Structure 1
Amino acid sequence: MRMLTVEGLVVAVIGVLLGTAAAATTLVPFAHAAADSWMPSGPLWIYGAVVGAAVTLVLSATLVPAWRALRVLPVRAARVDS
């Protein structure tokens, strides 16, 4: 489970970095043209909420199925009832 948690966090960090870069390619030029500022206007908590939701989604999509799969003993999972 620790390995899956680390893997999920790595995927989440890469996704947040790439998503931020993709959004910045349009938001920064628009903010510069519209408000003559390089920083987009708006509350910073929105960015934090989107990042938090992305991390929560990645970790829940990774850890919940892993937890369910590891809940059953391997001997019972491999047994075939005839």
Structure 2
Amino acid sequence: MTIEKLKEKCKALSKTVKKQAKTSAKFMKKVVDVLTRRGIAGCSSADFAFANTSVPQPPPQPAELGFPLTARQLQRKTHPLNPPPQETSPHP
């Protein structure tokens, strides 16, 4: 592939990225507008009335309130660095 073709592809990709960024910004502006108005134009809260299908959840345990464990922490939890000593049977 020549440098000229690479430059053309780079320009086309740059235009695509700019277009996607502009579209994304427009979408986020609409989302913010909806969230700040707490509703959608032309709709009322009755349009969103759903049956209460939530299931009561048990209260979280203290260990669950921390940050999620990393892979290394999970590995240590399942395979401790210092396992308990194995009982050995005496040899006759």
Please say whether Structure 1 and Structure 2 have the same fold, judged by a TM-score greater than 0.5: no
TM-score (norm 1): 0.35
Q: Larger Rg: 1 or 2?
A: 2
Higher relative contact order at CA 8 Å, sep ≥6: structure 1 or structure 2? 1
Higher helix share: 1
